[in-house]
Amino acid sequence: MFGQEKETSSDSNSQHSAFLEEKAFRARTVLVFGTITDKLASETVRKLLALDAESTAPITMIVSSPGGHLESGDAIHDVVRFISSPVTMVGTGWVGSAATHLFLGAARERRVCLPQTRFLIHQPSGGAGGQASDMAIQAQEIMKARERIAQVIARETGQPIERVRDDIERDKWMSAEEAIEYGLISRIIERRNELLPSQA
C-alpha cells in the first residue's frame, strides 16, 4: 500500500514536471540548471534544434550552473551559434566554469543576467592518472583546452588575451556589475519585460 502511494506521488511529480517543461517549450524558453553533463547537453541541444526547426523566433535560455564537463558545455555553445534562431542568455544564481563557456555562445548584446548572479571563469582542471606517457598527453590536452577557453573569453568579451590568460590562472569571481565591466554580459535586468522585443 505504501509502495502504491509512493508510485502515485512519483507519477504526479513526473506529470507536473512534464507539464512545466511543455509550458517553457511553448514559451521558447530553455532551462539549464545544475551540473553540465553529457545528458544535460543532449537534452538542451535537442530542445534548441526542435525550437529552431519550428521557428526562427528568438529563444531565451536561463542558466544557473556551477559548470561541469567542458566538452558538454562546448556542445551547447556551438549549437547556440549553429542554429538560425537567436538565443538570449539570462544568467541567474551562478554561472561558472563550463556554464560560463556555454553562456558565451550568445552574442554579447544577448547576454544578460538577474541582479544577484555571480560569474566564475578559470582554467580547466583534470585528474591525470595512469602511465607517465598518458599523464603527459592529458597535461598537453588540458593546456590546449586552457588556451581555447582563453581565446573564446577574449573574443566574446573584448578583453586582451594576455589579461584573460592571467585571470583564469586562478578562480576569478565576478558580480553582475563586474561582469558588465568585463564584457561577459551587456546589462542587468530584473523582469522579463526588460528583454528587448527582438530578444524575448
Supply the residues annotated as catalytic: 97, 122
Instruction: Answer yes or no: are the C-beta atoms of 97 and 122 closer than 8 Å.
Output: yes
Distance of CA 152 to the CA centre of its chain: 14
Distance of CA 111 to the CA centre of its chain: 11
Q: Where are the beta strands (DSSP E) in the chain?
A: 29-33, 59-65, 87-96, 111-113, 118-121, 172-174, 187-188
SS3 188: strand
CA distance 76 to 78: 6
Pairing status of strand 111-113 against strand 59-65: unpaired
